[in-house]
Structure 1
Amino acid sequence: MKHSVKDGKTAKALDRRLFLRGAAGLGLAALSVPAATSAAFAQAVGLNDVLSSGRRGNWSDTFDARGTGGAKAIATNQPIMSPQTLNYISAAINQYNMIVANGGWPTVPGNERLRLGMKSQVVPILRQRLMISGDLPEGIGSSTSFDTYVDAAVKRFQARHGLPADGVMGDMTYKALNVSADVRLGQLNTNLQRLGSLANVDQTRFVMVNIPAAQIEAIENGRVVQRHTAVVGKIDRQTPILTSKIHEVILNPYWTAPKSIIRKDIIPLMRKDPQYLTKNKIRLYNGQGQEVPPETVDWNTEDAVKLMFRQDPGKINAMASTKINFHNAHAVYMHDTPQKGTFNNLMRFDSSGCIRVQNIRDLDVWLLKNTNGWSRDSIEETIKSGQNNPIQLADPVPLYFVYISAWSTGDGIPQFRDDIYKMDGASELAIGTAI
């Protein structure tokens, strides 16, 4: 089926009219309720960061076909932690109450890898499902063709659920489509409560890390000025929920291995490859600060746990160019990584609790902009020198690690993310654990 430019404009116009009709019937109510309790204790960044350096290979999982189309339709500079978001969640709850009252949406059967240009008996059901959730304008028909209208609707749905907006019906898209409306309604209500006490942040500048979205927002004067893709803690090494202030940026940091990582990962690796520490520029020090040659350690025992394992600054350092420090009881921090490919993974839950930050140098510049002597150029020159350089912020920046798996960025634009740590109370929301 061929479509002209005029057809595309008509589809967009219909989409806008649908949003306006939906918004007219929704009330916006700002609610204030207690925030969620904190997450379980999380360990500091682990040896996996070292193993992920460019010299040791890149292990990536394969998900739905990659793409970026469709994300612009729901892009916004509205912070998640804002009264506007709280109001929009309330509106989304009204919308989903109506959807549930009307019987919800159909299950999209099978797992056929549908995409633009294909025909299937599943497509009419897919159309109905997307119309009910507001991703496809009403009255587009019941054709079996996966046409440009369905393609645009699938991309919009994917973008709202944190999936690659490529229009391809892969496993994750099917699973997200087939979470029932009443379960999504429950997820919205749960997250309304979590966001209640976080929405009225009065700081001019702050940073928010949303764990289930694996995303960071830098907020200034009520607007998101930077967004960063992140990698957060594994299911068994969770990133904690916390509130703190960023007080230090270290350029060219050292990395010190936690005892748990020494015991669990490094000692077994040294038994297999006695040159592992040397290859990765990790030095050993005793309690007196004296360097200990690795060949003098009995790696068949746990004597090594008594030593300090410290990796030199440099390109293969587990934290690469930057470490961002903030006081907390969990020994976690934010940092760069030599393994940039991990930011391309869909399920970015791969650290030992710390936060890896994509394009971290942009965040460095923003954090240090009120600290004398630090500009983009001076930061880049320091990183290039390879010399360790701790910098105290002139104005510590408030920091929030939050667990918000459902929110809304506008009328008719509810967003959902995988409940990776299973905090939302419904097993079907932990979609990624089944992939």
Structure 2
Amino acid sequence: MSGFKKASRRQFLKGAGAFGAMLAGTAHAGAQDSLIEILRSPRRGNWDDQFDAVGTRAPAVRTRQPILSPATVSYVEQAIADYRGIVVRGGWPRIDLTEQLRVGSSSPAVRQLRQRLAVSGDLSHNAGDSPVYDTFLDAAVKRFQERHGVPADGIIGEVTLAALNVSAETRLGQLETNLVRLQSMSGFLGDRYVMVNIPAAEIEAVENGRVAQNHKAIVGKVDRQTPILNSQIHEVILNPYWTAPKSIIEKDIIPVVREDPTYLARNSIRLFDPQGNEVPPEIVDWTTDEALRLRFRQDPGKINAMSSTKINFHNPHAVYMHDTPERSLFGQLLRFESSGCVRVHNVRELTIWLLRDTPGWSRNQIEAVVAGGENTEVPLTVAVPVYFVYVSAWSTGDRVVHFRDDIYGLDGVDELQLTSTTTL
């Protein structure tokens, strides 16, 4: 997607509402500081908070229903009908946030928020019209955040506010766009398969029509996008060597080596010519493009770019799935940090699941080989299909509708590129 142009900061603010103007009009600097603090606050929170009363609980957001299934298609068709009704009835109100909201706060914005969340089904219509931010509303905000891929802390920060203010009409269009994608993937995909949903930065391991495992993922940056593809996982490599792609050599490694000649040695990266002969870094002219003719290979180990595991499948993009030594990245709100490959959270569990039908590869054997540090290629006895898809809106039933930001701009609406235009 080389033609994709990243939206400007001004476009983001337009999509999120005239937020800067609201701040400029605030009377007191202290109030401004409080508001800015809450908008920039961490997004982590408790995912298990529930409504106070059983009668007001909405259907669960998380289910074992795979995103790629004929049932999902029918659920999205129902969601489209529901959202058309919402649009016909005038949509939902915008949230004009002028102050920090927390449990116990009283503000006119609370009523706007109640109306907004009631229309989208996150808040029961029986929850009342109080101007007080109570625990019912706090739970509804958390549910909305979970449906939109934001850690559910109940805080209306910049990303949550922007998502709240995406119009019902735009959300309807997003569902219609993604229905076509889901219909194209609604056939039989295999008794067991792996699905990587790029805009959600999540992975499903599916077995017999149910999600057996969920994993967070780190996928490609906007300028180094993870491709859409279908293939079959045929091999797992434990303690892999990492061969740097030419793009990384050119854009990342060579500039660093020019500044720090010890970089390659410190990172256990060795150079090889086209005939497979090792080349000492000292004899390479780093002021030219000579290094681009060489292969950069990193030895197995804890600092290896793929850490303990590489999951291979044939594809024309030379991408794969793998472990990472930078596990803290999985805790980020935005997990679009790779150069196109997919990093897998808790990769060991996925590896065990993939090798289940391959004799001799129990959990204990896998753990022992990884601990030993020796490069080991393990062919799967039965290949497992893998699908990299771009689904930014879907439903898993019970009228629970999920939306994600259109990080690569493939939905074609600037208003949906919320998190690709801001630094959090």
Normalised by the size of structure 2, how large is the TM-score? 0.86
Q: Partners in 2 of 1:215 and 1:99 — Cα distance?
A: 29
Q: State the partner residue of 2:54.
A: none
Which of 57, 61, 65 aligns to 2:43? It is 65
In the alignment, what sits opposite 1:403? 390
Report the CA distance between 1:70 and its aligned residue: 4.8
Contact 1:64 1:164 in 2 (8 A): no
Q: Secondary structure at 1:341's aligned position in 2?
A: helix
Instruction: Check whether the contact 2:2–2:223 (CA below 8 A) recurs between aligned residues.
Output: no
Q: Aligned runs of 1:6-405 on 2, under 5 Å?
A: 64-70=42-48, 73-110=60-97, 112-405=99-392
How many residues are paired up?
378
The 2-side partners of 1:63 and 1:253 are apart by 38
Indicate conservation of the 8 Å contact 1:115/1:169, yes or no: no
CA distance in 2, matches of 1:119, 1:71: 21
Asked if the contact 1:70/1:152 (under 8 Å) is kept, the reply is no
Q: In 1, Cα distance between the equivalents of 2:155 and 2:247?
A: 41
Q: Are 1:116 and 1:147, in contact at CA under 8 Å, matched by a contact in 2? A: yes
TM-score, reference length from structure 1: 0.84
Contact 1:111-1:174 at 8 Å conserved across structures:
no
Secondary structure of 1:122's partner? helix
SS of the equivalent of 1:365 reads helix
Contact 1:254 1:312 in 2 (8 A): yes
SS in 1 for 2:248: helix
- Which deviates more from structure 2 when the two are superposed, residues 133-142 or residues 206-215? 133-142
Gap regions ≥5 residues in structure 2: 4-39, 51-59
Q: Deviations over 1:121-180 (max 9, x none)?
A: 211100000001110001322222111010010011001000011111111100000000
Question: CA separation in 1, counterparts of 2:79 and 2:333?
Answer: 25
> Match for 2:47: what amino acid?
G
**Contact 1:206–1:397 (CA under 8 A) maintained in structure 2:** yes
Counterpart residue type for residue 250 of structure 1: I
Residue 382 of structure 1 deviates from its aligned partner by 0.4
Deviations 1:219-247 (A, max 9, x none): 00000000100000110111111000000
Q: Classify the secondary structure of the residue corresponding to 2:125.
A: coil
* Secondary structure in structure 2 of the residue aligned to 1:74: coil
Match of 1:414 in 2: 401
How far is 1:201 from its partner?
2.1
How has the CA–CA distance of structure 1 residues 280 and 63 changed in structure 2, closer, same or farther, with 3 Å as cutoff? farther
| Distance (whole Å) between structure 2 residues aligned to residue 311 and residue 119 of structure 1 | 58
Q: Give the aligned residue type for 1:169.
A: I
The CA distance in 2 between the partners of 1:179 and 1:111, in whole Å, is: 18
Q: State how far apart, in whole Å, the 2-side matches of 1:245 and 1:65 are.
A: 36
**Residue 118 to residue 92, structure 1, CA distance change in 2 (3 Å):** same
Deviation of 1:110 (Å) = 2.7
Q: Share of identical aligned residues, percent?
A: 60
Provide the secondary structure at the position in 1 that maps to 2:253: helix
Q: Answer whether contact 1:217 1:226 (CA < 8 A) is retained.
A: yes
SS in 2 for 1:288: coil
**Shift in Å, 1:288:** 2.7
CA change 1:93–1:339 in 2 (3 A) is same
Could you tell me which amino acid in structure 2 is paired with residue 65 of structure 1? R
CA distance, structure 1, for counterparts of residue 41 and residue 189 of structure 2 = 39
The RMSD of aligned alpha carbons is 1.7
Superposition deviation, residue 115 in structure 1: 2.5
CA distance in 1, matches of 2:101, 2:327: 30
Offset of residue 339 of structure 1: 0.3
Deviation at 1:116?
A: 2.3
**Would the aligned equivalents of 2:110 and 2:132 in 1 still touch at CA under 8 Å?**
yes
Distance 1:77 1:71, change over 3 A: farther
Q: Distance in 2 between matches of 1:91 and 1:185?
A: 11
> Structure 2 vs 1, CA of residues 284 and 63 (structure 1 numbering), >3 Å: closer, same or farther?
farther
